């Protein structure tokens, strides 16, 4: 994705500026990583710099090995009431052209019923939607594809919105920043804090886990390459352990 390329380029530029006239080396890269830590950068940011620098130095024949502390934060999540509030807010807007309201509403519905990433949402074309089988093809990270079902409540709005589109048309021909603006604006108008496009991914995962869906099915739907990413949501909602505890034999 262009945004990823820009982010990686910025990481290398920051390293270059810090390096100055010094020679690129494994030691200087390690010192740079230590510098980032001392400056109070988040572990996730330090990890990003490391994963950008390592292949860059490897291309130059310079090995780099740094032990990084793993950060495992539990994601925050919202419930169905917040999603409904956003949809009602979109519907109640009087200053929006009906087609734009339909688009914005569908963006929220697709995110809320699929949990796909923002980049995956923007990559969706009409030819990726199989209305007959009620399935959609998602292009995920690393060009990995997966096919997921279209929820019943999503089918009709999706069908109506795409009625006049051609197979090659993008469903949402927007910039990534625009998706962010649409979601955050309606969340703010609905009085909901800390909502962004990725919040719907957390929402879908926690709702599925809370309803007893198995970890492998959640992983498949969300397109997680590593099941450890999916397992985080089972820590957020420990209620899924209730049935396991109930299955233990009574001893008193």
Task: Identify the active-site residue in 47, 105, 117, 118.
Answer: 117
Q: Which residue among the candidates 141, 144, 177, 178 is catalytic per the annotation?
A: 141
Q: How far is CA 219 from CA 33, 75, 205, 228, 234, in A?
A: 32, 16, 9, 9, 12
Report the relative pairing of strands 145-149 and 135-139 from DSSP bridges.
antiparallel
Determine the angle formed by the axes of helices 227-236 and 199-210, rounding to 10 degrees.
Answer: 70
CB atoms within 10 A of CB 167: 10
Which of 78, 118, 224, 240 is labelled catalytic?
Answer: 224
Closest CA to 108 of 225, 192, 216: 192
**Annotated catalytic residue, options 15, 50, 186, 233:** 233
Active-site position among 201, 202, 203, 240 = 201
Residues paired with residue 146 on neighbouring β-strands, in sequence order: 138
**Active site includes 240?**
no
Q: Active-site residue 170, yes or no?
A: no
Q: Is 141 a catalytic residue?
A: yes
Residue 130 pairs in a beta bridge with 135
* 72 token code pair: 């495992």
The yes-or-no answer on residue 175 being catalytic is no
Distance between CA 144 and CA 241 in Å, rounded? Answer: 32
Q: Which of 115, 109, 206, 126 has the alpha carbon at shortest distance from 169?
A: 126
Any idea which residues carry the catalytic annotation?
Answer: 117, 141, 198, 201, 224, 233
């Amino acid at each position: 994705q262009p945004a990823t390329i820009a982010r990686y380029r910025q990481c290398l530029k920051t390293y270059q500026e810090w390096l100055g006239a010094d020679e690129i080396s494994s030691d200087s890269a390690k010192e740079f990583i230590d510098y980032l830590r001392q400056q109070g950068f988040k572990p996730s940011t330090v990890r990003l710099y490391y994963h950008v620098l390592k292949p860059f130095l490897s291309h130059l024949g310079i090995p780099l090995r740094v032990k990084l502390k793993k950060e495992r934060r539990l994601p925050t999540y919202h419930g169905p009431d917040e999603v409904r509030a956003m949809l009602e807010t979109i519907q109640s807007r009087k200053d929006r052209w009906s087609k734009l309201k339909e688009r914005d509403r569908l963006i929220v519905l697709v995110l809320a019923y699929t949990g796909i990433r923002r980049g995956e949402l923007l990559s969706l074309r009409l030819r990726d939607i199989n209305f007959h089988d009620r399935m959609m093809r998602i292009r995920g990270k690393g060009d990995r594809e997966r096919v997921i079902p279209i929820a019943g409540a999503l089918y009709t709005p999706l069908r109506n919105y795409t009625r006049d589109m051609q197979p090659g048309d993008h469903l949402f021909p927007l910039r990534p920043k625009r998706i962010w603006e649409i979601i955050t604006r309606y969340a703010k108008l609905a009085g909901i804090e800390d909502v962004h496009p990725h919040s719907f991914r957390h929402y879908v995962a926690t709702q599925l886990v809370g309803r007893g869906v198995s970890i492998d099915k959640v992983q498949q739907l969300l397109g997680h390459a590593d099941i450890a990413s999916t397992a985080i949501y089972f820590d957020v909602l420990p209620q899924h352990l209730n049935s396991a505890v109930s299955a233990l034999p009574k001893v008193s």
